[in-house]
């Protein structure tokens, strides 16, 4: 079994961060007695789809999107691994890796090296 806290850790570690708006406002987590829910809100963050997909416009001159597949590939694959196939020691290693990544990001924000926007409380 996986907890909402573990899901949140994996999702937030894979979420791109530039200004903090998508990170703070674009994702909501909830749970009820039978399921967990992750909502990627394209109404709040209309450019979210561009962070996930390939860059095809001539403006990018063939550059590769560094965040391409952050939901479909990275987040979903990591959650599937944790839920379906990982042993408890593998889950622990994955969780620690992402907790470290989130901790470093929080330290950079607190030191002023990354900008953070006031986000929604349901993150």
Residue 123: what pLDDT?
44
pLDDT at 114: 64
Which pair of tokens denotes residue 80?
């599937």
pLDDT in tens, 24-75: 899 999 988 888 899 999 999 999 998 999 888 788 788 888 899 999 999 9
For residue 86, the Cα-to-chain-centroid distance in whole angstroms is 20
CA–CA distance, 7 with 65 (Å, rounded to integer): 25
What does the alpha-carbon distance between residue 120 and residue 76 come to, in Å, rounded to a whole number?
23
For the four alpha carbons of 52, 108, 24 and 99, in that order, the dihedral sign comes to positive
Whole-model pTM? Answer: 0.77
Decide: 49 and 42 in contact? Cβ < 8 Å. yes
């Amino acid at each position: 079994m996986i907890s909402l806290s573990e899901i949140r850790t994996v999702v937030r570690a894979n979420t791109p961060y530039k200004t903090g708006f998508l990170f703070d406002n674009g994702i909501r987590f909830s749970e009820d007695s039978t399921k967990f829910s992750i909502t990627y809100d394209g109404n709040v963050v209309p450019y979210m789809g561009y962070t996930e997909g390939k860059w095809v416009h001539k403006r990018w001159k063939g550059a590769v999107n560094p965040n391409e597949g952050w939901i479909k590939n990275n987040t979903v694959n990591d959650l599937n691994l944790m839920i379906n196939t990982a042993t408890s020691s593998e889950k622990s290693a994955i969780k620690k890796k992402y907790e470290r990544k989130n901790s470093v990001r929080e330290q950079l924000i607190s030191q002023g090296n990354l900008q953070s926007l006031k986000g929604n409380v349901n993150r």
